[in-house]
A and B are shown apart, each in its own frame.
Chain A
Amino acid sequence: AQSVTQLGSHVSVSEGALVLLRCNYSSSVPPYLFWYVQYPNQGLQLLLKYTTGATLVKGINGFEAEFKKSETSFHLTKPSAHMSDAAEYFCAVSAITGGGNKLTFGTGTQLKVEL
């Protein structure tokens, strides 16, 4: 079984400050890991994903995440927060099912960006 734990349901940063959203995973097999963003009353948009290879993954909107196997972590960072980054962020881990890949999501972290 696979699972994801997101530490901190709410994170608040000042505009221009570093964004750090934490995600730890549990997986019995090498994991595929994802970060999605959700704006109010909208669906989820893929920010980035880790599959194999380079452990530092760059995504859209200036976000990046680093896969650390020894720490079972996949934290999301952005050097400088912008007001438009305010949204809910979900970390997810994937498992292969009979017909495709099944995503297991964390409970989400609401990011607030203040002036």
Chain B
Amino acid sequence: EAEVAQSPRYKITEKSQAVAFWCDPISGHATLYWYRQILGQGPELLVQFQDESVVDDSQLPKDRFSAERLKGVDSTLKIQPAELGDSAMYLCASSLRRGGSPSTDTQYFGPGTRLTVL
């Protein structure tokens, strides 16, 4: 069964350093999502891509976070500089359709990258 791949699974960094996370969605999936999950909370959408275009980044802290999906396939999320409050699980998800309806377009999640900022 096809899965969403993420790497690394775990990352420890010091504050003010730069970190990057990688996501490879299920093959053929047009829409890719990055979520942040702080311990004890539910995931919160950071950015959503349709193919290579950003369609929603309203919750992305753009002063330090950036995301790209250059060829409309895999994606990278970067934090520079990292802050203590960025410690969280970063989840990537993908779904098949462009402009998909929730009734027909399920989001599939990867295993996540757990970031610890010291």
A: which residues have CB within 8 A of B? 4, 9, 32, 34, 36, 41-46, 49, 51-52, 90, 92, 94, 96-108
Contact = CB atoms under 8 A, between A and B. Distances in A.
Interface in B61-118: 91, 93, 95, 97-103, 105-112, 114
Contacts of B110: 43
Interface in B34-63: 40-45, 48-50, 53, 55-56
Contacts, number: 89
Interface residues of B, number: 35
A90 B48 contact: no
Contacts of A32: 102-103
Counting from the closest, the 9 A-B pairs by CB-CB distance are A105-B42, A99-B55, A99-B50, A43-B109, A51-B103, A32-B102, A94-B102, A101-B102, A44-B109
A26 to B, nearest CB: 15
Nearest to B42: A105
Contacts of B9: 41
A44 B107 CA distance: 9
B4 interface: yes
B57 to A, nearest CB: 11
17 contacts: A36-B109, A41-B111, A42-B112, A43-B110, A44-B43, A49-B106, A51-B102, A96-B101, A98-B99, A100-B31, A100-B48, A100-B95, A100-B99, A102-B48, A102-B56, A107-B42, A108-B41
